[in-house]
Amino acid sequence: MTERPEPSARNEPPDGQVPGAAGASAAGARADGARADGARPAARPRPGTGRPGRPSLGWTELVVGVLVYLVLLALVLAPATQVLIGLGAPPGIALTAVAPVTALIAAVAALAVRVRWAPALGIRSTTLRWLLVAVAAGLLTKVVTVGAILAYQALTGDRSNPQEVLTNSAAGGGWQLAGLLLFGAVLVPLGEELLFRGLIYGSLRRYGVLLGLIVSSVLFGLAHGLNAVLVAAVVLGAVNVVLYERSRSIWVPMLSHTMFNASAFVLAAVLM
C-alpha cells in the first residue's frame, strides 16, 4: 500500500528546542495559549507528523514496530521474566519490568528507520489543564471498565482472573506494591503508549481518526489476551487515543494510563 504524502510540520520547534513533559520553555508554554504579540497560536501538527522535509510515520514504521514487538514477545519476554523470578523478583513485578521494555524497544526501533524525530511519537510538552484531564480520565475509565468486565463475566460465565499474578503482587503490600506501582503504573504506560498511541495510532492517523482509533485500540486489547481484560484494554485504548488526538502530547494518555493501572493495584492491595 502506498503511503500518502504528509504535509510539512512548519510550526514545530527546531532540534534542541523540543520541550519535555514537565519543563516547557517560554515559547512552549505559549503553544496552548495566547502568543506574546496577541496573534492566534498555530495549531500543533497532527499525531505522527514528521520533521519538516522528512518522512512522517507510515506503513514502514507500523510494520517494523509490530514485527519487532512480536519477535521480542516471542523470544525475550518469557526468558527474561524467568531470569528475574530466579533472582527473587515476584512474578508480577518481573512481568511488568520486562513487558514494557519490549514495547519501548519496538517503538524506538521503528522511529529510527526513517523519521528519527521524537515529536512524531507525541513527545512534546503539555499543560497542567491536560494533565488534570488525564488524571480524571484514567480514574473514570477504570470505573467504567470494572462495569464492563462484570458484564462480560455475567454474559460468558468466565470468572477467571488473567492478571492474577499482578493482583497477588499488589496484595503483598509493602515493597511489592511499591515495585508494582513503579513498573506497572509508570514503565508499562510509558512503553505501551509510545507503541500503541504514539507509533501505531500515529502511523494510521493520516487515514482518519476513527480508523486509527479502532485499529490501535483493538490491537491494544488483543495484546492483553482474549479474556475479560481485552474489553477494558480496548476502552482504555480508545479513551487514550482521544486524549492524544486532542492534546497532541503523548504524556497525556500516558498519565491517564498510569492512573488507570495505579488505581487497580491500590484497590487490589486494599481489598485483598
Q: Which residues of 145-176 are buried (b: 16+ CB within 10 A; e: fewer)?
A: beeebeebeeeeeeeeeebebbbbbbbbeeeb
- Total domains, the chain: 1
Residue 31, domain member (yes or no): no
Of 44 and 83, more confident: 83
Q: What pLDDT score was predicted for residue 49?
A: 96
Residue 55, domain member (yes or no): yes
pLDDT digits (tens, 9 = 90+) for 222-251: 999 888 899 999 999 999 999 999 999 999
**pLDDT of residue 8 exceeding 80:** no
Q: What pLDDT score was predicted for residue 47?
A: 96
Residue 208, domain member (yes or no): yes
pLDDT digits (tens, 9 = 90+) for 250-259: 999 999 999 9
Mean pLDDT score of the chain, rounded to an integer?
A: 87
Residue 158, domain member (yes or no): yes
Which residue range is the domain that position 58 belongs to?
49-271
Report how far apart, in Å, the C-alpha atoms of 56 and of each of 48, 53, 233 are: 6, 9, 27
Residue 140, domain member (yes or no): yes
Say what the pTM is.
0.84
Q: Using an 8 Å Cβ cutoff, are 54 and 115 in contact?
A: yes
Residue 5, domain member (yes or no): no
Q: Using an 8 Å Cβ cutoff, are 184 and 96 in contact?
A: yes
Residue 230, domain member (yes or no): yes
Residue 15, domain member (yes or no): no
- Residue 257's φ and ψ, nearest 5 degrees, are -65, -40
DSSP labels for 186-254? IIHHHHHIIIIIIIIIHHHGGG-HHHHHHHHHHHHHHTT-SSHHHHHHHHHHHHHHHHHHHH--THHHH
